[in-house]
Amino acid sequence: MDKDDAKMEGRIHGEQMEPPQPDNMLLRLLFMLLIAVMISMAQTILGVATVIQFVIMLVNSNQPNERLAEFGTDLGVWVAKAARYQTAASNVKPWPWSELD
């Protein structure tokens, strides 16, 4: 595993402050529905960022915008954490209820 892969693995599966007790099921359902809407919005944002990055690379001799690439990485980490909460692999809610790393 190279350095970038190890960093990404740590951001997704690293230590997180698990809540002392899980949310009750009704509250968890509410959070799951809200996070599902947020994931849908994240997909739209990712699509827009993809098109913008492609245009930048066309104009800039195949060189991507580093800040936009890092944003894509951050968005991917957030989606992964949201998916872990949605599937009950973790009781830690994603940002904005916890740190964004």
**Is the overall model pTM greater than 0.85, yes or no?**
no
Task: Please give the pLDDT value at position 61.
Answer: 95
Helices 66-86 and 3-13: angle between axes, nearest 10 degrees? 40
CA 91 to chain centre: 15
Euclidean distance between the first and the last CA atom of the chain, given in angstroms as a whole number: 21
Residue 20 carries which DSSP code? S
Side-chain half-sphere of 1: how many Cα atoms within 13 Å? 7
The per-residue pLDDT for range 22-73, each reduced to its tens digit, is 789 999 999 999 999 999 999 999 999 999 999 999 999 999 999 999 999 9
Q: What does each C-alpha distance from 28 to 35, 42, 53, 54, 92 come to in angstroms? A: 10, 20, 36, 38, 11
Joined tokens for residue 35: 């996070």
The per-residue pLDDT for range 14-35, each reduced to its tens digit, is 666 777 787 899 999 999 999 9
